[in-house]
Amino acid sequence: MTLFRQLLIAILIATALLYVGNIAVGARNSKTLVEKQMQTHAQDTATSIALSMTQAASNQDIATLETILNAVSDTGFYQRIYLLDTNKKLHLDRSFPITIESVPPWFIRLMKLPTYKGEAEVSTGWQPFGTLVVVSHPGQAYLNLWRVLVEQLLWFALVSLMSCLLISLAIKHLLVPLKRVEAQANAICRQDFTQQKIIPHTRELATLVETMNHMSAQLSQLFERQLSLISELRQKTRRDELTGLANRSDFDAQLNSCVQDESGEHCGVLMIFAVRQLAQLNQLAGRVEGNKLLQSIASQLSASLQGHEQALIARRQGAEFTVFISDIERADALTLADHLFSNVQQLSWFQTSEQNLSSKNPIVQMGYTYSASISNGPELLSEADMVLRSMTDNPSNEWGQFADISRPATATSIATIDWSGFVKSAIAKKNIRLNIQPMYGAPERNLLAYEVFSSFPSDKKNEEFAAGTVIPALERAGLGSEFDQLVLTELRNKWQGRSEPLSVNICLSSFRSEPFRHWLTDFLTQDPDFAALLTCELPERILHFAEHEVRSFEALLSQCGTGLAIDGFGLNASKFAYLGSLPLRYLKVHRSFTREINCEKDNQFYIRTLVQLVAIRSLPLIAEGVESESEWQSLIELGVSGAQGYYLARLESLP
């Protein structure tokens, strides 16, 4: 029961008790007054009638005496009037019917008025003739008392109703600060550390509001420190301190996670840039100039690859930089490699005019390899490294390619496919296949939800392409929104009659498309049951350049009963402040953190810290890419909410 109702009921009970007490005292006083009135009235009536009978009694005129007695009207105040002679013998007697109307019996039993008698002497001259007795009737007294009580009740009801309205308005006004405190407390539970600007005038409430504001500020600082700690830890364990790029371990983990992606095979290009004579530069100009050169190369590579969201750039060792881009066509990869090499080789050794090296520009060499179907990450690195070693004796700027590795004849080379025509045909013919993989809770291994993966059947029998391979072509063809609409529509049709939650990834172009948002709103509104089961996943990298759009997208989903989740969490080194205020259904950690986590102490510490952080918000933390029993057990010990991966369950086709 709300505090408002409790206060209102307490006030009404107190008022009712006061009224009952007032009625009890008033009834007692009224009863005493009525009793005295009945006694006086009976005596006055007896005296008056006796005086009227004196003349008739002197003449011994019994008929006149009886006439006088009968003349007394039946007003309800008497129940009997009689005349006794001096010997107490009944001379005359008149009785009135005893009726008490409009008064409930319980009230009569409660009040219980006594019967009073009034006596007066009738004389003949100086001689007594007899005694007149008037017996009172309490009927009128009961009726008057009852009417008074009813009037008081009516007035009490009217006054109580008006009082309730006024009191309710007053209590609501007084409780407004408490409602704001309640809203602030709920916001703090969601890690939204708001401050109340309006301080109430009531001293106790003002103290409460100021205390809540102080607590909110303290918790906000604590949460920010935790976020900063995680971000710093991520930077130290996964980032190169000099350039800010991924380090060797982070690059290798992400490369292997791409290779072992459960959604299907990927094509990709890997390039290694090596700066020759860096040691000579350090000797001549010091490490500061050498570090500036490495930072310039890192900045140049990052700037040149801004349009490629799937690009992974790392400084794996010393003077070597590695670039890996998945799901890119061979022709585009060659064009991009030539563009990157041209930009990097234009950098100069020094920012000053001093030149003590054999050439003005650094000698940069690049090893290049492309795979139409990546099956082994270290193999790609080895191929690019072999190209570099073949150029060791040639101190000049150049880059070379490693010959394509032959593939089984039965497999379609995805590098030779006309992707534009393929995706347009697939969308037009609705030629997609939906697969689902369960997410299980830890440690009970109970079903949490299904994640939906889509694939595209190939022209060849029993061969299909995963969405991860085709989506880049979809985005280039401007068909991302049509693809997501097709997936959601087919998914709703196939999910009829099922009650398990499910999640689906949304393309970046769809996420940014206003027409798609309007369509999605209408789509979810038409089927609220399906909308409540659905969770849309977005990759974490989107938050780094479109956080405002993500928040507006979440608001759209929330209005329809659909949730938002972040996929691939932890892949990008940045602040995680959005965790404090963005409503999410769950957070999914990138597979590179779960790979062999039973052996990776840094990743264990990172996951454990994340678990503690999201526990404050009651936000489930899901690990993806679980491939072994040891990984699953380690994640359980670390406290994750759930996981998915081939060890727990493989993809299954949705009929």
Residue 146 lies in a domain: yes
Give the residue-averaged pLDDT of 3-31: 79
Which of 69, 36, 224, 56 has its CA nearest to residue 141? 36
Lowest pLDDT segment from 69-83, 129-143, 213-227, 245-259 = 69-83
Give the residue-averaged pLDDT of 385-405: 72
Which of 262, 243, 190 has its CA nearest to residue 219? 190
Give the β-pairing of 534-539 and 502-505. Answer: parallel
Write the pLDDT tens digit of every residue in 597-633: 998 888 888 898 888 888 877 889 999 989 899 999 9
324 and 442 in a common domain: no
Q: What percent of the chain has pLDDT over 70?
A: 89
* DSSP designation for 200: P
Q: How sure is the predictor about 573, in pLDDT bands with cuts at 50, 70 and 90?
A: low
Lowest pLDDT segment from 132-136, 395-399, 526-530, 551-555 = 395-399
What's the CATH code of the domain at 84?
3.30.450
Domain span holding position 68: 3-161
454 and 375 in a common domain: no
What's the CATH code of the domain at 255?
3.30.70.270
Q: How sure is the predictor about 291, in pLDDT bands with cuts at 50, 70 and 90?
A: confident
Q: What percent of the chain has pLDDT over 90?
A: 22
* Region for 511 from its dihedrals, namely left if φ exceeds 0, alpha if ψ lies in -120 to 50, beta otherwise: alpha
628 and 493 in a common domain: yes
Q: Starting from the edge strand earliest in sequence, which strands make up the sheet with 127-136, in order?
A: 90-95, 78-85, 127-136, 117-124
600 and 573 in a common domain: yes
Residue 217 lies in a domain: no
Q: What is the per-residue pLDDT for 57?
A: 73
Give the residue-averaged pLDDT of 498-516: 91
626 and 571 in a common domain: yes
388 and 454 in a common domain: no
Residue 511 lies in a domain: yes
427 and 341 in a common domain: no
What's the CATH code of the domain at 541?
3.20.20.450
50 and 94 in a common domain: yes
Of 129, 144, 161, the domain-final residue: 161
452 and 320 in a common domain: no
Question: For residue 559, is pLDDT > 90?
Answer: yes
| Spatial distance between the Cα atoms of 388 and 217, rounded to a whole number of angstroms | 55
48 and 139 in a common domain: yes
Give me the chain's average pLDDT, please. Answer: 82
> Bridge partners of 81?
94, 134
Q: What is the per-residue pLDDT for 566?
A: 92
Residue 230 lies in a domain: no
Residue 347 lies in a domain: yes
Question: For residue 68, is pLDDT > 50?
Answer: yes
- Please report, for the chain, how many H helices and E strands are present, in that order: 20, 19
Residue 468 lies in a domain: yes
110 and 24 in a common domain: yes
> Bridge partners of 25?
none
Strands, DSSP E only, in 318-471?
Answer: 320-326, 363-371, 398-401, 433-441, 447-457, 464-466
Of 107, 133, 161, the domain-final residue: 161
Highest mean pLDDT among 45-49, 76-80, 232-236, 440-444: 440-444
Residue with token string 């407004």: 176
Residue 114 lies in a domain: yes
Domain count, the chain: 3
Residue 187 lies in a domain: no
Q: What is the per-residue pLDDT for 354?
A: 47
Joined together, the tokens standing for residue 202 give 């009531």
Q: What is the per-residue pLDDT for 361?
A: 55
Q: How sure is the predictor about 586, in pLDDT bands with cuts at 50, 70 and 90?
A: very high
Of 401, 435, 467, the domain-final residue: 401
443 and 294 in a common domain: no
> Which one is predicted more confidently, 633 or 115?
633
